[in-house]
A and B are shown apart, each in its own frame.
Chain A
Amino acid sequence: MKKKIRIGSLQFFCLIFLFELGSAVLFGMAKEARQAAWITIIFGIVSGCILFSVYLGLHKKYPDLPLTAYSRKIAGKYIGWGIGFAYVIYFSYLAVRVLRDYEELLVISQYHNTSLLTLGLYMIASIIYVMFKGFEVFSRVSQVCFFVFLFVGMPVIILELSAQLLQPANLLPVLENGWMPVLKAFFPSTLTVPFGEMVAFTMLLPYVKDHKTAKKIGYAGIIVSGLYLSFRTAMNIAAIGPDVRIRSTFPILTEIGLVEIGNFIQRLDAIVLVILVILGFVKIFIFFYCALLGISDLFNLNEPKKMIYPLGILIILSAVLVAPNFNTHMDIGFKIVPIYMHLPFQIAIPVLLLLIAIIKTKFKKSRTNQST
């Protein structure tokens, strides 16, 4: 098909880790569950693994094909093409949404006077550069980014601990309103973002060395990133309390803003912003790339790189046009997108495809058995 790209296990892990953290860290997860948000995330890990096993099942049947290609094999040429095209739009839309999220983050936290368009332009320009270098280069970059993340992120946690910011009492009482708020926060928002978004990897799994690595590292990535998110959420609650968390747009920045040690280490938000930009970069890149892969696969393009510019410009512009203001953007993101976009694309379609594929192979097998 194309020239063979193979990414190793550590790079695959880094991709999943940074991808999962993406917008989840930014907006704070499961705010409605209050103190129990971290428990919700543990649920998310479990459900994320289950969903991923569906994607893996499809990958096992078609180890060399992305989702858009095997959807045609499973659901027939025309319906499958339609499904593939819908996924392209879905991935592009998610890239747009994540870009908008990060543009808003930057505008609200640091760049009050800069236009969304400028910020988006810079982000997409650097993404386009990396994309021209290819996915392999990107996965290497993301691995270095992972190290940077560890290198910058861990000291921030240590600084927070030494600033005596954390009040574990904020995490109590556990489950004061029973399991209902936890479940409500879990379904659909925590389930779909970030764990369900692993559906993007259905496009990328063919690049992984082999099925066994994809399985092992995939689960490990989801579990480790989930546990990290859970831990970080618990820290967040301990630092700022569930009430502020619900009120604040970017809980992580609120939390970091409180760190002050000896009048010298203060206002680490700009440093945390660096980490967040890394996460945003990885996430936007992956969605963008999935959309690109989908297009080149559906239209059988010989030169998929030609589509990078138009798609990139489309993403920059739609990121500005997708919502008139931040509140609408958030509202769409938390109320409409999970139910009408995430649920069908992340759960319904893959599960259906897998079922059809299994039935088809069973059917075929029994037929071949009969004939022999």
Chain B
Amino acid sequence: MPSFFKTGTKKIQSKKESSPSQPSTIKPNITNLTYNIDDNIDLIKDCLGSPPDLNVRKIIIDAATDFSVAMIRMDGMSDKKEVDFSVIEPLSKMNFEQLREQLESPNSAEVLGRLIAVNKLEKMNDVDKVVNSILQGNTGILFNHTSQVFIASTRLIDKRGLSEPSSQTVIRGPKDSFTEDLRTNTSLVRARITNPKLRIETLNVGEITHTNVELMYLNGIADDSILQELRNRIKKIKIDAILESSYIEEFIQDSKNSIFPTLISTERPDVVVANLLEGRFAIFVYGTPYVLIGPATFIQFFQSPEDYYQNYYMGSFIRILRFVSFFIALYIPGLYVAIMTHHHALIPTTLLITLAGQREGVPFPIVVEALIMELVFEVLREAGVRMPRAVGQTVSIVGALILGQAAVQAGFVSASTVIVVSLTAIANFTMPFFNVAIAARILRFLLLLLGSYIGMYGIMLGTFVILAHLCSLRSFGLPYFDPITPFKLLAQKDVFIRLPLPKQMTRPEPASPEEKNRVQGGGRNET
């Protein structure tokens, strides 16, 4: 299986080289760098298919000896100014005699490095590597009479500036969020942890895209076995392209068929920092502001960073509220239908009369009604996300006011169903991480059907199934329900309630056992 991809890429290359349509003077089967600069330029051009954004600048330094230099770079990916000032200018002024002598010596890169003022200069003579480097925005420097290519790092890609997080907002707390640029993202974390223990490892994933994936952790605090497992899993990924961190997530999560997320994805640097400090790892992927964090437990999806920024009474209250709203989002439609169709006795008499009054003349059975309303709501929500910002407001007004109000007034649906559905919808939005809310959104339908079919009994049995599924999940070996079951009394400090920070001086489960205490020796000596 793996070899298939490798041979595939090579085939493409050789095909291009052998294509007769290329107006080239060199023999088409040359695949290695030669001592002729023009051949080399053509070879690189061929490899890339002479795209319009490929910039080749050739300078003849000494016509007598046919000594020339060429700079090859991709427009838009590299820093033009830097190439002009740091590469072209010193090269055109240099003493070429001396340079020519030393070009073939093993330390030619160092000699050249004294002239060219870029922060990294490498020497290579493999055409694949050279092409890859150029594609990443570096500048390839070619000389005549040598097969060595010098790569100056001049990568510069336009990127957007930092903006406020769009999906995970807080009232009090940092307002910056990750961007699409990987280096910016890692710098946001580095700026917050100025400690040599912070380690970053680079991995390359994607047979075609060669996307940079970086793994970040705190050395010593993160458990080595988990990290090793993570590296193995990332290395095993076989995919052509990585466009978003979710691609990685789907490959490395423990249970591929689960509806519940087993890795956190966040766009907030403070969340990443907090999790790194708890011994978790973070995976940065080029091109997406969402960073993966693992191993994650179920409880973590209910922890908003703001819980820790607000007073801890408030933090605890809000957290309990969030659990309640998760329960509401998951169960209320099912319970509503179950009670309205199977357990009339449970409804207080006065409420029952009101409800019965509302149900008079409504054409649909209550299950159908609830299902329709849930689906309509999902449609509205999807429309709200996809709509251009400007008309988003209109959709919500049309959806909420006109549809809801009119449907009730026209007697299509009963008011109580509208209340239940909107309550569910609102409760769903309290989740700090929307991917756990997705689970609730889908499982809700299952419970609704069970409830309509066989009442509370069905809902209860559905709960067993969901619970068993949750209990069987693991995230990198860590049980998903970690501090609840298996139960750990000390870890309860940050589950349903948040104790004040001075009382939270131990790290939770995934941290390596030697580093259980957040601060050593009472918080004085740092090593």
Check A-B contact in the complex, CB < 8 A.
Answer: yes
Residues of chain A touching chain B, judged by Cβ–Cβ distance below 8 Å, are 8, 10-11, 106, 110-111, 114, 118-119, 122-123, 125-126, 129-130, 133-134, 137-138, 140-141, 143-145, 147, 263-267, 269-271, 273-274, 277-278, 281
Give A269's nearest chain B residue, CB to CB: B345
B468 at the interface (CB under 8 A from A): yes
| In contact, A140 and B485 (Cβ under 8 angstroms) | yes
Residues of chain B touching chain A, judged by Cβ–Cβ distance below 8 Å, are 339, 342-343, 345-346, 348-350, 454-458, 460-462, 464-465, 467-469, 471-472, 479, 481, 484-487
| In contact, B343 and A110 (Cβ under 8 angstroms) | yes
Among A114, A126, A130, A147: residue with most chain B CB under 10 A: A126
Instruction: Point out the residues of chain A lying under 8 angstroms from B462, CB to CB.
Output: 126
Instruction: Point out the residues of chain B lying under 8 angstroms from A144, CB to CB.
Output: 467, 471, 481, 484-485
Q: A126-B464, A144-B485 are in contact. Are A133 and B469 (CB under 8 A)?
A: yes
Smallest CB separation, A208 vs chain B (Å): 14
Q: A11-B486, A143-B487 are in contact. Are A277 and B471 (CB under 8 A)?
A: no
Smallest CB separation, A49 vs chain B (Å): 25
Smallest CB separation, B351 vs chain A (Å): 8
Smallest CB separation, B454 vs chain A (Å): 6
Tell me which of A8, A137, A270 contacts B468 (CB under 8 A).
Answer: A137
| In contact, A122 and B349 (Cβ under 8 angstroms) | no
| In contact, B345 and A267 (Cβ under 8 angstroms) | yes
In the assembled complex, the Cα of A285 lies from the Cα of B468 at a distance in Å of 13
- Chosen A-B contacts, 7 in total, with CB atoms closer than 8 Å, are A11-B487, A129-B465, A133-B472, A144-B467, A265-B348, A266-B349, A269-B345
Smallest CB separation, B456 vs chain A (Å): 6
Instruction: Point out the residues of chain B lying under 8 angstroms from A265, CB to CB.
Output: 348
| In contact, A8 and B486 (Cβ under 8 angstroms) | yes
| In contact, B343 and A143 (Cβ under 8 angstroms) | no
| In contact, B456 and A137 (Cβ under 8 angstroms) | no
| In contact, B464 and A141 (Cβ under 8 angstroms) | yes
Give B458's nearest chain A residue, CB to CB: A122
| In contact, A118 and B454 (Cβ under 8 angstroms) | yes
Smallest CB separation, A166 vs chain B (Å): 23
Give B350's nearest chain A residue, CB to CB: A263
In the assembled complex, the Cα of A218 lies from the Cα of B89 at a distance in Å of 84
| In contact, B461 and A123 (Cβ under 8 angstroms) | yes
Smallest CB separation, B70 vs chain A (Å): 63
In the assembled complex, the Cα of A143 lies from the Cα of B482 at a distance in Å of 12
Instruction: Point out the residues of chain A lying under 8 angstroms from B487, CB to CB.
Output: 8, 10-11, 143
Instruction: Point out the residues of chain A lying under 8 angstroms from B461, CB to CB.
Output: 122-123, 125-126, 277, 281
Instruction: Point out the residues of chain B lying under 8 angstroms from A125, CB to CB.
Output: 461
Give B346's nearest chain A residue, CB to CB: A270
Smallest CB separation, A300 vs chain B (Å): 26
Lowest 7 A-B CB distances belong to which pairs? Answer: A140-B471, A130-B468, A126-B461, A140-B485, A267-B345, A133-B472, A137-B472
In the assembled complex, the Cα of A134 lies from the Cα of B350 at a distance in Å of 46
| In contact, B345 and A270 (Cβ under 8 angstroms) | yes
Instruction: Point out the residues of chain B lying under 8 angstroms from A269, CB to CB.
Output: 345
Among B339, B457, B472: residue with most chain A CB under 10 A: B457
Instruction: Point out the residues of chain B lying under 8 angstroms from A110, CB to CB.
Output: 342-343, 455-457
In the assembled complex, the Cα of A129 lies from the Cα of B258 at a distance in Å of 14
Smallest CB separation, A122 vs chain B (Å): 5
| In contact, B465 and A130 (Cβ under 8 angstroms) | yes
Q: A122-B461, A141-B468, A263-B349 are in contact. Are A274 and B485 (CB under 8 A)?
A: no
In the assembled complex, the Cα of A140 lies from the Cα of B473 at a distance in Å of 11
In the assembled complex, the Cα of A114 lies from the Cα of B456 at a distance in Å of 14
Tell me which of B349, B464, B485 contacts A281 (CB under 8 A).
Answer: B464
| In contact, A111 and B485 (Cβ under 8 angstroms) | no
| In contact, B468 and A273 (Cβ under 8 angstroms) | no
Instruction: Point out the residues of chain A lying under 8 angstroms from B343, CB to CB.
Output: 110, 270
Smallest CB separation, A5 vs chain B (Å): 13
In the assembled complex, the Cα of A143 lies from the Cα of B479 at a distance in Å of 14
Instruction: Point out the residues of chain A lying under 8 angstroms from B350, CB to CB.
Output: 263
Smallest CB separation, B17 vs chain A (Å): 54
| In contact, B457 and A143 (Cβ under 8 angstroms) | no
Instruction: Point out the residues of chain B lying under 8 angstroms from A8, CB to CB.
Output: 486-487
Q: A110-B342, A118-B454, A133-B468 given. 16 additional CB < 8 A pairs?
A: A10-B487, A11-B485, A11-B486, A111-B455, A119-B454, A126-B461, A134-B472, A137-B471, A140-B485, A144-B467, A263-B348, A265-B348, A270-B339, A270-B345, A274-B456, A277-B460
| In contact, B486 and A140 (Cβ under 8 angstroms) | yes
In the assembled complex, the Cα of A36 lies from the Cα of B194 at a distance in Å of 70
